[in-house]
Structure 1
Amino acid sequence: MTDFPALAPAHLDHPTLSALVPPELDHPPRFLLLYGSLRERSYSRLMIEEAARLLTRMGGEARIYDPRGLPQPDDADPSHPKAQELREASLWSEGHVWCSPDRHGAMTGIFKSQIDWLPLETGGVRPTQGRTLAVMQVNAGSQSFNTVNQLRVLGRWMRMITIPNQSSVAKAYNEFDEAGRMLPSPYYDRLVDVMEELVKFTLLTRGRADYLVDRYSERKADGRHPAATSLADATRP
C-alpha cells in the first residue's frame, strides 16, 4: 500500500540514526531530585540525598528541591517563590529522580503537590517533556510497588522518558544509620543500579530530547515541518 489519503506528508518525519546522534555538550548531566515527606527524619529525603551523592560521583550535577513552604496547588499565584524555584529547577534539569513514601498504598500529597505545580507547558516551554526520570519509593512495612507504579503513570503523563529500573525499599527505617547514610544491602545496590541507568539514559538522550518527543500531530496542528529532515524528504511518497 503506497496510498495514504489521511496523511499530511509535509509534516511526516523519517527518523534516521544521524538525527539521534546528540551534540557535544560541555556540562555535566543535570538532575533535579524530589522527595515526598516533611518529617524531620524523612526516609524519602535520605534516599534522595543518597541518590544525589551517587549522581555527583558519576559526574552529574544534582539539585534537591526542598518542598517546605510550597503552597497547595491553586492556593497561591504561580509567581510564588517556591513554585518559581521548582519550575526553574525543572527547566534547568535534563533528568529527574522522584522518591515518595508509600502512604495508604499511594504517593503522598506532598509529592503530588510538587508535580501539580509543574505545568505541561508555560510560554511555549515544557518543564518536564523529554527529560529522563527514575522513580523510587520507601515503605514503612513490607515491600510494595504501588507508588512507583503511580509515579510511572505520572511521569508518562508529564511526557518524560522513564527508565526501566526502579527502587522500592522495605522497612526503610532499618536501612539508614544515625547519620542518615544508607547501609550496605541489596537495596543500596539497587539504588546504585538505578542511578547508573539514569545517567546512561540521560547521556543518550540529552540534546536530542526535543526530537525524541516531537509529534506528527503537533507539527501538523502548528504547521511545522520535521526538524531533522528536509522538506524534500518529508514530502516523498
Structure 2
Amino acid sequence: MTDTPQITDAAFARIDPDTLFPATRSTHAPRILILYGSLRERSFSRFTAEEAGRILTRLGAEVKIFDPHDLPAPDSVPADHPKVAELRDLVTWCEGMAWSSPERHGAMTGIMKSQIDWIPLSLGGVRPTQGKTLAVMQVCGGSQSFNTVNQLRILGRWMRLLTIPNQSSVAKAWDEFDEDGRMRPSPYYNRIVDVMEELVKFTLLTRDIRDHLVDRYSERVEDHATLSARVNQAKAV
C-alpha cells in the first residue's frame, strides 16, 4: 500500500486576512507597460496600443510603450543587449501590462512572441511578471477573430500574470483608424475603453498583494525540502 499524502506542516500556511487586506495601500499612479506586435510604418496594433495608452493616462495611470524595433530574435544575443535590457527593465518597473498583436495566419505575430520570449520567468531571484495584471488585445485585417487573444491568454497564464476577463478584438482594423492613426468612434473603441478601465481597477486591487495571490504550497514544499537538505548536509560536514 502507498502512504496517504499528507500536508507538509512546515510549508502549510493559513490565509491571513491582514496579508490580503493591508492597512496601507500604494498611492502612486498604476504603472502600465504596453507591448505591440508589428514593425509596419502604419501599424494598427501600434495605433491600438497608443490609443490604449491615451485612455490609461486619462484614467490616471503612468504608461510606457515599448518599441520592438531592433529587438533581436530570442537567444540570438546576450541578455545584456540594450533592447533586451530595456524591455526587461520595463517589465520589472510595471505593475500591469497590455499586449496588442495583429493576427497573422490565425495566430499572434513573431514580433509579439519574441518580446514575450525575452521576458524571463525569473530575473535575479525575482519573478518579474508574477501576480501582475494583463489585458490582451488584437487587431484583424478581416472579420473578427479571437485566436490571438486566446493565445495571449495562454502565455499570460504561463507567465503567472493575472489576465483580466475583458478583451478587445478589432475587426477590419484598416477601417477603424484615420490618417493620423487615431481610432474612430465605434463600439470597438468603446470596448478598448472598457478593457483599460478594467485593467486599472484590477491593478489597483491587486498590486499590493500580488505575491500572496500567486504564492503556491507546492513550491513552498520544494523550497522546504531544499532547505532541509542543505541544513542536513551542513550538519554532516
**1:52 partner amino acid:** G
Aligned to 2:11: 11
Q: Which runs of 5+ in 2 are unaligned?
A: 226-237
CA displacement 1:86-130 (0-9 Å, x = unmatched): 000000000000010000000000000000000100220112111
CA displacement 1:14-37 (0-9 Å, x = unmatched): 224332114321310000000000
Aligned to 2:127: 126
Q: 2 CA distance for matches of 1:35 and 1:17?
A: 38
Aligned to 2:233: none
More helix by percentage: 2
Q: 2 CA distance for matches of 1:176 and 1:5?
A: 58
**Structural RMSD (CA):** 1.2
Q: 2 CA distance for matches of 1:122 and 1:200?
A: 27
Tell me if the contact between 2:10 and 2:224 (Cα under 8 Å) persists in the aligned partners. Answer: no
* Mapping 1:203-222, distance limit 5 Å: 203-222=204-223
Aligned to 1:87: 88
Find out whether 1:41 has 2:42 as its counterpart: yes
Change in 2 beyond 3 A, CA 1:37/1:5: closer
**1:10 partner amino acid:** A
Q: 1 CA distance for matches of 2:84 and 2:13?
A: 36
> Structure 2-normalised TM-score?
0.91
Offset at residue 222 of structure 1 (A): 1.5
Classify the secondary structure of the residue corresponding to 1:223. Answer: helix
Task: Say which structure, 1 or 2, has more relative contact order (CA 8 Å, 6+ apart).
Answer: 1
Q: 1 CA distance for matches of 2:5 and 2:192?
A: 50
* Mapping 1:42-61, distance limit 5 Å: 42-61=43-62
Deviates more, 1:46-55 or 1:10-19: 10-19
Offset at residue 218 of structure 1 (A): 1.3
Q: 2 CA distance for matches of 1:25 and 1:125?
A: 20
Classify the secondary structure of the residue corresponding to 1:198. Answer: helix
Classify the secondary structure of the residue corresponding to 1:72. Answer: coil
Runs of 4+ deviating beyond 6 Å: none
* Mapping 1:17-166, distance limit 5 Å: 17-22=17-22, 23-166=24-167
CA displacement 1:169-220 (0-9 Å, x = unmatched): 0000111111111110000000000000000000000011011111111112
Classify the secondary structure of the residue corresponding to 2:89. Answer: helix
**1:21 partner amino acid:** F
Classify the secondary structure of the residue corresponding to 1:126. Answer: coil
Classify the secondary structure of the residue corresponding to 1:102. Answer: strand
Q: 1 CA distance for matches of 2:100 and 2:17?
A: 34
Change in 2 beyond 3 A, CA 1:214/1:81: same
Q: Which runs of 5+ in 1 are unaligned?
A: 225-237
Deviates more, 1:10-19 or 1:135-144: 10-19
Offset at residue 74 of structure 1 (A): 1.0
Q: 2 CA distance for matches of 1:204 and 1:194?
A: 15
Q: 1 CA distance for matches of 2:50 and 2:40?
A: 15
> Structure 1-normalised TM-score?
0.91
Q: 2 CA distance for matches of 1:188 and 1:128?
A: 27
Classify the secondary structure of the residue corresponding to 2:165. Answer: strand
* Mapping 1:160-199, distance limit 5 Å: 160-199=161-200
**2:88 partner amino acid:** R
Number of equivalences: 221
Tell me if the contact between 2:164 and 2:202 (Cα under 8 Å) persists in the aligned partners. Answer: yes
